[in-house]
Amino acid sequence: MMPFIFFAFLVLPFTYTNSVFAFPPLPSFPPIPSFTNPWEGFQNLSGCHPGDKVPGISNLKQYLHDFGYISNPPPTNFTDSFDDDLEAAIKTYQKNFKLNITGFLDPSTINQMTLPRCGMPDIINGTSTMALSLHGRKLYTYFTGNPRWPSSKSQLTYAFTATSSVSISTSTLSTVISRAFSRWAATTTLTFTEVGSESDPDITIGFYSGDHGDGEPFDGVLGTLAHAFSPTDGRFHLDAAEQWVAEGDVTTASSDAAIDLESVAVHEIGHLLGLGHTSVESAIMYPTIKTKTKKVELAEDDVVGIQNLYGKNPNYTGVAPATTVQQMDTSDAGLGLGLGFGSLFWRVLVVSGVVGGLVLG
Q: What is the pLDDT of residues 14-38, one digit of tens each?
A: 343 443 334 344 344 344 344 578 9
The response to whether 211 counts as a known ligand-binding position is no
* Backbone torsions φ then ψ of 95, nearest 5 degrees: -65, -45
| Residue-level pLDDT at 49 | 97
Using DSSP bridges, classify how beta strands 123-124 and 155-160 pair: parallel, antiparallel or unpaired: unpaired
| Residue-level pLDDT at 75 | 87
| Residue-level pLDDT at 244 | 96
Dihedral angle of Cα 165, 238, 58, 42, to the nearest 10 degrees: -90
| Residue-level pLDDT at 21 | 35
pLDDT surpassing 70 at residue 6: no
The response to whether 220 counts as a known ligand-binding position is yes
Cα separation, 190 vs 197, whole angstroms: 20
53 forms beta bridges with: 81
The response to whether 242 counts as a known ligand-binding position is yes
* More confidently predicted of 6 and 141: 141
Q: Catalytic residue at 268? A: yes
- Distance between start and end Cα atoms, the chain: 80
pLDDT band at 329; cut points 50, 70, 90: very low
> Please, how many CA atoms are within 13 Å of residue 207, restricted to the half-sphere of its CB?
17
Q: Which fold has domain 40-114?
A: Muramoyl-pentapeptide Carboxypeptidase; domain 1 (1.10.101)
| Residue-level pLDDT at 234 | 96
Alpha helices of the chain — where are they, by DSSP H? 2-15, 57-66, 84-96, 107-113, 170-185, 261-272, 300-310
* Backbone torsions φ then ψ of 64, nearest 5 degrees: -65, -30
| Residue-level pLDDT at 338 | 30
Range with lowest mean pLDDT among 26-30, 39-43, 304-308: 26-30
pLDDT band at 45; cut points 50, 70, 90: very high
Provide the percentage of residues in the chain whose pLDDT is more than 90: 57
Cα separation, 10 vs 223, whole angstroms: 59
Global pTM value: 0.74
The response to whether 49 counts as a known ligand-binding position is no
pLDDT surpassing 90 at residue 347: no
SS3 348: strand
Region 89-108 average pLDDT: 92
- 185 contacts 316 by C-beta, under 8 angstroms: no
Considering just the CA atoms, what is the radius of gyration of the chain in Å? 26
Cα separation, 306 vs 140, whole angstroms: 9
81 forms beta bridges with: 53
The response to whether 202 counts as a known ligand-binding position is yes
pLDDT in tens, 256-279: 999 999 999 999 999 999 988 787
pLDDT band at 128; cut points 50, 70, 90: low
Alpha helices of 187-323 — where are they, by DSSP H? 261-272, 300-310
| Active-site annotation holder among 194, 262, 268, 297 | 268
Cα separation, 103 vs 83, whole angstroms: 11
Cα separation, 333 vs 296, whole angstroms: 33
